[in-house]
Amino acid sequence: MKIGILTGGGDAPGLNAVIYALTRICTYKFNCEIIGYKFGYRGLYENNFVTLTPQSTSGILHKGGTILFSSNKDNLFDYLVDDGNGNMIKKDVSDVAVANMKKEGVDVLVVLGGDGTLTSARDFARKGVNVIGVPKTIDNDLASTDVTFGFDSAVNIVTENLGRIHTTAESHNRVFVVEVMGRNAGWIALLSGIAGSADVIIIPEIPYSLDKIVEKIKQRDAVGKNFSIIVVTEGAKEKGGQAVIGKVVSDSPDPIRFGGIGAKIAQDLEPLIEHEVRSVALGHIQRGGDTSPADRILSIRYAYAAANLIAEKKFGNMVCLKNGRMDSVSLEEVIGKPKIVAPVNELVNAASAMGISFGA
Ligand code: F6P
Protein backbone atom coordinates (compact mmCIF):
# COMPACT_ATOMS: atom_id res chain seq x y z
CA MET A 1 0.00 0.00 0.00
CA LYS A 2 1.09 3.59 -0.60
CA ILE A 3 0.15 6.25 1.93
CA GLY A 4 0.08 10.03 1.49
CA ILE A 5 0.25 12.28 4.56
CA LEU A 6 -0.53 15.98 4.78
CA THR A 7 -0.58 18.54 7.58
CA GLY A 8 -3.14 21.38 7.35
CA GLY A 9 -4.17 24.45 9.35
CA GLY A 10 -2.03 26.18 11.96
CA ASP A 11 0.99 24.15 12.98
CA ALA A 12 0.91 22.41 16.37
CA PRO A 13 3.56 20.58 18.38
CA GLY A 14 3.12 16.86 17.68
CA LEU A 15 2.69 17.04 13.89
CA ASN A 16 6.27 15.88 13.38
CA ALA A 17 5.82 13.20 16.04
CA VAL A 18 2.84 11.75 14.13
CA ILE A 19 4.79 11.88 10.83
CA TYR A 20 7.76 10.21 12.56
CA ALA A 21 5.72 7.43 14.16
CA LEU A 22 3.41 6.79 11.20
CA THR A 23 6.36 6.51 8.83
CA ARG A 24 8.09 4.00 11.10
CA ILE A 25 4.99 1.94 11.90
CA CYS A 26 3.77 1.81 8.28
CA THR A 27 7.24 0.95 6.98
CA TYR A 28 8.33 -1.63 9.58
CA LYS A 29 5.00 -3.23 10.53
CA PHE A 30 2.93 -2.91 7.36
CA ASN A 31 5.59 -2.63 4.66
CA CYS A 32 3.99 0.46 3.09
CA GLU A 33 5.46 3.26 1.03
CA ILE A 34 4.84 6.76 2.39
CA ILE A 35 4.90 10.19 0.82
CA GLY A 36 4.25 13.57 2.43
CA TYR A 37 2.44 16.33 0.54
CA LYS A 38 3.94 19.78 1.13
CA PHE A 39 1.90 22.76 2.38
CA GLY A 40 -1.23 20.73 3.11
CA TYR A 41 -3.88 20.44 0.41
CA ARG A 42 -1.91 22.77 -1.88
CA GLY A 43 0.69 20.00 -2.23
CA LEU A 44 -2.04 17.58 -3.21
CA TYR A 45 -3.23 19.96 -5.93
CA GLU A 46 0.27 20.72 -7.19
CA ASN A 47 1.44 17.11 -6.74
CA ASN A 48 4.28 18.46 -4.62
CA PHE A 49 5.51 15.75 -2.28
CA VAL A 50 8.53 14.15 -0.66
CA THR A 51 9.16 10.49 0.05
CA LEU A 52 9.11 9.73 3.77
CA THR A 53 11.28 6.98 5.18
CA PRO A 54 12.50 6.14 8.69
CA GLN A 55 15.83 7.66 7.61
CA SER A 56 14.40 10.90 6.17
CA THR A 57 12.24 11.48 9.25
CA SER A 58 14.96 10.63 11.75
CA GLY A 59 15.44 13.21 14.51
CA ILE A 60 12.07 14.98 14.20
CA LEU A 61 10.12 13.31 17.03
CA HIS A 62 10.65 16.14 19.50
CA LYS A 63 10.45 19.06 17.09
CA GLY A 64 7.43 21.38 16.93
CA GLY A 65 6.17 22.63 13.56
CA THR A 66 5.87 20.30 10.57
CA ILE A 67 8.55 19.14 8.15
CA LEU A 68 5.75 18.99 5.54
CA PHE A 69 4.86 22.68 5.99
CA SER A 70 1.26 23.78 6.42
CA SER A 71 -1.33 26.27 5.25
CA ASN A 72 -4.62 27.39 6.72
CA LYS A 73 -5.81 28.87 3.45
CA ASP A 74 -6.24 26.10 0.91
CA ASN A 75 -9.63 24.49 0.44
CA LEU A 76 -9.48 22.52 -2.82
CA PHE A 77 -13.28 22.42 -2.98
CA ASP A 78 -13.29 26.23 -3.21
CA TYR A 79 -9.83 27.10 -4.50
CA LEU A 80 -8.49 30.34 -5.97
CA VAL A 81 -7.25 29.72 -9.53
CA ASP A 82 -6.52 31.75 -12.65
CA ASP A 83 -9.43 31.45 -15.12
CA GLY A 84 -6.99 31.60 -18.03
CA ASN A 85 -7.62 35.32 -18.67
CA GLY A 86 -5.65 36.55 -15.68
CA ASN A 87 -8.69 36.69 -13.39
CA MET A 88 -8.62 34.81 -10.10
CA ILE A 89 -11.77 32.78 -9.52
CA LYS A 90 -12.83 30.20 -6.92
CA LYS A 91 -13.27 26.70 -8.28
CA ASP A 92 -13.64 23.10 -7.07
CA VAL A 93 -10.28 21.54 -8.03
CA SER A 94 -10.62 18.42 -5.88
CA ASP A 95 -10.69 16.20 -9.00
CA VAL A 96 -7.12 17.34 -9.78
CA ALA A 97 -6.06 16.16 -6.32
CA VAL A 98 -7.78 12.80 -6.80
CA ALA A 99 -6.13 12.39 -10.22
CA ASN A 100 -2.72 13.23 -8.70
CA MET A 101 -3.18 10.59 -6.01
CA LYS A 102 -4.15 8.02 -8.67
CA LYS A 103 -1.13 8.95 -10.79
CA GLU A 104 1.23 8.40 -7.85
CA GLY A 105 -0.59 5.20 -6.80
CA VAL A 106 -1.57 6.63 -3.41
CA ASP A 107 -4.13 4.32 -1.79
CA VAL A 108 -4.73 6.17 1.46
CA LEU A 109 -4.61 9.83 2.50
CA VAL A 110 -3.82 10.57 6.16
CA VAL A 111 -4.87 14.10 7.10
CA LEU A 112 -3.52 15.77 10.22
CA GLY A 113 -5.62 18.80 11.08
CA GLY A 114 -8.33 20.62 13.00
CA ASP A 115 -11.93 21.29 12.04
CA GLY A 116 -11.21 23.16 8.76
CA THR A 117 -8.67 20.65 7.46
CA LEU A 118 -10.83 17.70 8.52
CA THR A 119 -13.85 19.20 6.70
CA SER A 120 -11.96 18.78 3.43
CA ALA A 121 -10.86 15.29 4.59
CA ARG A 122 -14.54 14.39 4.97
CA ASP A 123 -15.30 15.86 1.54
CA PHE A 124 -12.52 13.76 -0.03
CA ALA A 125 -13.92 10.70 1.76
CA ARG A 126 -17.31 11.52 0.21
CA LYS A 127 -15.60 11.49 -3.20
CA GLY A 128 -14.43 7.94 -2.55
CA VAL A 129 -10.87 8.69 -1.39
CA ASN A 130 -9.63 6.40 1.41
CA VAL A 131 -9.07 8.97 4.16
CA ILE A 132 -7.98 8.74 7.80
CA GLY A 133 -8.08 11.85 10.01
CA VAL A 134 -5.83 12.63 12.98
CA PRO A 135 -7.02 15.42 15.33
CA LYS A 136 -4.60 18.33 15.79
CA THR A 137 -4.98 21.73 17.39
CA ILE A 138 -3.40 23.55 20.30
CA ASP A 139 -6.91 24.88 21.06
CA ASN A 140 -8.27 21.42 22.07
CA ASP A 141 -11.65 22.44 20.65
CA LEU A 142 -12.73 19.25 18.86
CA ALA A 143 -15.68 17.54 20.56
CA SER A 144 -14.98 14.10 19.06
CA THR A 145 -11.82 13.46 21.05
CA ASP A 146 -10.85 13.89 24.68
CA VAL A 147 -7.74 15.79 23.73
CA THR A 148 -5.94 16.93 20.58
CA PHE A 149 -2.17 16.81 20.27
CA GLY A 150 -0.49 20.20 20.60
CA PHE A 151 -2.67 21.26 23.51
CA ASP A 152 -0.44 19.94 26.29
CA SER A 153 2.61 21.66 24.77
CA ALA A 154 0.73 24.97 24.57
CA VAL A 155 -0.44 24.66 28.18
CA ASN A 156 3.16 23.95 29.26
CA ILE A 157 4.48 27.00 27.41
CA VAL A 158 1.80 29.32 28.81
CA THR A 159 2.25 27.98 32.35
CA GLU A 160 5.99 28.50 32.13
CA ASN A 161 5.51 32.05 30.87
CA LEU A 162 3.04 32.85 33.64
CA GLY A 163 5.84 32.01 36.06
CA ARG A 164 8.05 34.56 34.31
CA ILE A 165 5.31 37.20 34.40
CA HIS A 166 4.81 36.55 38.11
CA THR A 167 8.31 37.61 39.14
CA THR A 168 8.25 40.87 37.18
CA ALA A 169 4.63 41.67 38.18
CA GLU A 170 5.46 41.16 41.85
CA SER A 171 8.65 43.26 41.64
CA HIS A 172 6.75 46.27 40.28
CA ASN A 173 3.39 45.82 42.05
CA ARG A 174 1.79 45.62 38.62
CA VAL A 175 -1.24 43.95 37.16
CA PHE A 176 -0.54 41.89 34.04
CA VAL A 177 -3.06 40.77 31.45
CA VAL A 178 -1.73 37.76 29.53
CA GLU A 179 -3.58 37.01 26.28
CA VAL A 180 -3.47 33.40 25.07
CA MET A 181 -4.74 31.53 22.02
CA GLY A 182 -7.76 29.24 21.82
CA ARG A 183 -10.17 31.11 19.53
CA ASN A 184 -13.65 30.56 21.04
CA ALA A 185 -12.53 27.88 23.50
CA GLY A 186 -11.01 28.72 26.87
CA TRP A 187 -9.08 25.46 27.43
CA ILE A 188 -5.56 26.89 27.21
CA ALA A 189 -6.42 29.81 29.54
CA LEU A 190 -8.26 27.55 31.98
CA LEU A 191 -5.59 24.88 32.40
CA SER A 192 -2.54 27.13 32.26
CA GLY A 193 -4.28 29.74 34.41
CA ILE A 194 -4.89 27.18 37.14
CA ALA A 195 -1.45 25.53 36.80
CA GLY A 196 0.27 28.93 36.61
CA SER A 197 -1.53 30.44 39.63
CA ALA A 198 -3.42 33.16 37.79
CA ASP A 199 -5.72 35.33 39.92
CA VAL A 200 -8.30 35.91 37.19
CA ILE A 201 -9.10 33.67 34.21
CA ILE A 202 -11.21 35.16 31.44
CA ILE A 203 -12.59 32.74 28.84
CA PRO A 204 -15.00 33.18 25.92
CA GLU A 205 -17.53 30.86 27.54
CA ILE A 206 -17.92 33.18 30.56
CA PRO A 207 -18.31 36.84 29.49
CA TYR A 208 -16.54 39.11 31.97
CA SER A 209 -17.44 42.31 33.76
CA LEU A 210 -14.69 44.81 34.65
CA ASP A 211 -16.24 45.36 38.10
CA LYS A 212 -15.63 41.75 39.03
CA ILE A 213 -12.00 41.90 37.91
CA VAL A 214 -11.51 45.11 39.93
CA GLU A 215 -13.15 43.43 42.95
CA LYS A 216 -10.63 40.57 42.82
CA ILE A 217 -7.62 42.91 42.48
CA LYS A 218 -8.83 45.02 45.43
CA GLN A 219 -9.33 41.88 47.54
CA ARG A 220 -5.71 40.97 46.86
CA ASP A 221 -4.53 44.50 47.65
CA ALA A 222 -6.38 44.32 50.97
CA VAL A 223 -4.33 41.28 52.03
CA GLY A 224 -1.02 42.75 50.86
CA LYS A 225 -0.85 40.98 47.48
CA ASN A 226 0.07 44.01 45.46
CA PHE A 227 0.21 42.41 42.05
CA SER A 228 -2.22 40.31 40.03
CA ILE A 229 -2.14 38.10 36.96
CA ILE A 230 -5.08 37.90 34.58
CA VAL A 231 -5.09 35.26 31.81
CA VAL A 232 -7.49 35.89 28.95
CA THR A 233 -8.39 33.82 25.88
CA GLU A 234 -8.11 35.77 22.63
CA GLY A 235 -11.82 35.20 21.80
CA ALA A 236 -13.17 36.43 25.17
CA LYS A 237 -15.70 39.24 25.42
CA GLU A 238 -17.14 41.60 27.98
CA LYS A 239 -20.77 41.01 29.04
CA GLY A 240 -22.85 42.52 26.25
CA GLY A 241 -19.68 43.19 24.21
CA GLN A 242 -17.96 41.78 21.14
CA ALA A 243 -14.80 39.74 20.67
CA VAL A 244 -11.80 41.80 19.50
CA ILE A 245 -10.66 41.00 15.96
CA GLY A 246 -6.91 41.30 15.40
CA LYS A 247 -6.69 40.57 11.70
CA VAL A 248 -8.84 39.49 8.78
CA VAL A 249 -7.06 37.01 6.50
CA SER A 250 -9.31 37.46 3.50
CA ASP A 251 -8.07 34.44 1.50
CA SER A 252 -8.53 32.03 4.41
CA PRO A 253 -11.73 29.90 4.60
CA ASP A 254 -12.04 31.06 8.24
CA PRO A 255 -10.77 34.65 7.88
CA ILE A 256 -11.13 35.99 11.45
CA ARG A 257 -8.03 36.04 13.66
CA PHE A 258 -8.69 37.24 17.20
CA GLY A 259 -6.24 39.52 18.99
CA GLY A 260 -6.27 42.58 21.21
CA ILE A 261 -8.60 41.65 24.08
CA GLY A 262 -5.66 41.63 26.53
CA ALA A 263 -4.67 45.19 25.56
CA LYS A 264 -8.31 46.29 25.78
CA ILE A 265 -8.75 44.88 29.29
CA ALA A 266 -5.47 46.49 30.39
CA GLN A 267 -6.55 49.87 29.05
CA ASP A 268 -10.04 49.68 30.58
CA LEU A 269 -8.73 48.45 33.93
CA GLU A 270 -5.92 50.91 34.64
CA PRO A 271 -8.09 53.94 35.54
CA LEU A 272 -10.09 51.79 37.97
CA ILE A 273 -7.22 50.47 40.15
CA GLU A 274 -4.10 51.69 41.95
CA HIS A 275 -1.67 49.74 39.78
CA GLU A 276 0.10 50.15 36.50
CA VAL A 277 -1.27 47.55 34.10
CA ARG A 278 0.67 45.84 31.32
CA SER A 279 -0.58 43.43 28.70
CA VAL A 280 1.36 40.65 26.99
CA ALA A 281 0.06 38.57 24.08
CA LEU A 282 1.93 35.26 23.97
CA GLY A 283 0.85 34.70 20.36
CA HIS A 284 2.62 32.12 18.22
CA ILE A 285 5.22 31.43 20.93
CA GLN A 286 2.50 29.08 22.21
CA ARG A 287 2.81 26.92 19.09
CA GLY A 288 6.57 26.98 18.68
CA GLY A 289 9.56 25.08 20.00
CA ASP A 290 9.72 21.48 21.16
CA THR A 291 6.77 19.14 21.63
CA SER A 292 6.02 18.17 25.22
CA PRO A 293 6.69 14.53 26.20
CA ALA A 294 2.95 14.00 26.78
CA ASP A 295 2.17 15.27 23.25
CA ARG A 296 4.92 13.06 21.79
CA ILE A 297 3.29 10.04 23.41
CA LEU A 298 -0.22 11.09 22.38
CA SER A 299 0.96 11.65 18.79
CA ILE A 300 2.57 8.19 18.70
CA ARG A 301 -0.66 6.64 20.02
CA TYR A 302 -2.66 8.46 17.34
CA ALA A 303 -0.20 7.36 14.65
CA TYR A 304 -0.38 3.73 15.79
CA ALA A 305 -4.19 3.86 15.85
CA ALA A 306 -4.22 5.45 12.37
CA ALA A 307 -1.90 2.72 11.01
CA ASN A 308 -4.20 0.05 12.45
CA LEU A 309 -7.25 1.70 10.82
CA ILE A 310 -5.37 1.62 7.50
CA ALA A 311 -4.50 -2.06 7.95
CA GLU A 312 -8.14 -2.83 8.75
CA LYS A 313 -9.28 -0.65 5.80
CA LYS A 314 -11.57 1.37 8.09
CA PHE A 315 -11.49 4.50 5.98
CA GLY A 316 -13.52 7.70 6.38
CA ASN A 317 -12.70 7.80 10.10
CA MET A 318 -10.72 9.95 12.48
CA VAL A 319 -8.71 8.42 15.30
CA CYS A 320 -9.76 9.76 18.68
CA LEU A 321 -9.22 9.34 22.39
CA LYS A 322 -12.33 8.31 24.34
CA ASN A 323 -12.08 8.03 28.12
CA GLY A 324 -8.35 7.47 27.81
CA ARG A 325 -8.58 4.72 25.15
CA MET A 326 -7.81 4.97 21.45
CA ASP A 327 -10.92 4.74 19.31
CA SER A 328 -12.23 6.05 15.99
CA VAL A 329 -15.17 8.15 14.85
CA SER A 330 -16.64 8.76 11.40
CA LEU A 331 -15.39 11.98 9.78
CA GLU A 332 -19.07 12.69 9.08
CA GLU A 333 -19.59 13.10 12.83
CA VAL A 334 -16.52 15.16 13.59
CA ILE A 335 -17.11 18.34 11.63
CA GLY A 336 -18.68 21.48 13.09
CA LYS A 337 -18.76 20.13 16.63
CA PRO A 338 -16.70 22.48 18.76
CA LYS A 339 -15.71 21.56 22.29
CA ILE A 340 -15.91 24.58 24.55
CA VAL A 341 -15.59 24.89 28.32
CA ALA A 342 -18.97 24.38 30.00
CA PRO A 343 -19.40 27.25 32.49
CA VAL A 344 -20.24 24.59 35.05
CA ASN A 345 -17.20 22.38 34.71
CA GLU A 346 -15.20 20.52 37.35
CA LEU A 347 -12.08 22.60 36.71
CA VAL A 348 -13.99 25.89 36.70
CA ASN A 349 -15.60 24.86 40.00
CA ALA A 350 -12.29 23.81 41.54
CA ALA A 351 -10.63 27.05 40.45
CA SER A 352 -13.52 29.14 41.79
CA ALA A 353 -13.39 27.23 45.07
CA MET A 354 -9.68 28.12 45.33
CA GLY A 355 -10.52 31.80 44.94
CA ILE A 356 -9.64 32.26 41.26
CA SER A 357 -12.02 34.78 39.68
CA PHE A 358 -13.61 34.24 36.25
CA GLY A 359 -14.52 37.92 36.09
CA ALA A 360 -18.23 37.14 36.28
O1 F6P B 1 -6.21 27.21 15.87
C2 F6P B 1 -4.93 27.39 16.26
C3 F6P B 1 -4.61 28.83 16.38
O4 F6P B 1 -3.29 28.88 16.85
C5 F6P B 1 -5.56 29.68 17.23
O6 F6P B 1 -5.38 29.48 18.60
C7 F6P B 1 -5.22 31.06 16.73
O8 F6P B 1 -6.30 31.93 16.91
C9 F6P B 1 -4.98 30.85 15.28
O10 F6P B 1 -4.61 29.49 15.12
C11 F6P B 1 -3.91 31.74 14.70
O12 F6P B 1 -3.83 31.56 13.33
P13 F6P B 1 -2.65 32.13 12.43
O14 F6P B 1 -1.54 31.13 12.47
O15 F6P B 1 -3.28 32.23 11.08
O16 F6P B 1 -2.23 33.45 12.98
CATH superfamily of the domain spanning 151-288:
Phosphofructokinase domain (3.40.50.460)
Which positions ≥6 away from 145 have C-beta within 8 Å? 135, 318, 320, 321, 322, 329
What is the C-alpha to C-alpha distance for residues 181 and 281, in angstroms, rounded to an integer? 9
Q: Would the pLDDT of 16 be above 90?
A: yes
What is the pLDDT at residue 145? 98
Q: Would the pLDDT of 253 be above 90?
A: no
- Residue ranges of the chain that CATH labels 3.40.50.450: 2-149+291-334
pLDDT tens across 305-339, in order? 999 999 999 999 999 999 999 999 999 999 999 99
Write the DSSP string, 195-247.
HTT-SEEE-TTS-B-HHHHHHHHHHHHHTT---EEEEEETT--BTT--PPEEE
- Is residue 71 lining ligand 1, measured as CB closer than 6 Å? no
The answer to pTM > 0.95 is: yes
- Residue ranges of the chain that CATH labels 3.40.50.460: 151-288
d(CA 308, ligand 1 centre) in Å: 31
- Residues classed as catalytic: 139
At the topology level, CATH places domain 2-149+291-334 in Rossmann fold (3.40.50)
Closest ligand 1 atom to residue 286 Cα is 4
pLDDT tens across 105-116, in order? 999 999 999 999
Mean pLDDT of 124-144: 98
57 band by pLDDT with thresholds 50, 70 and 90: very high
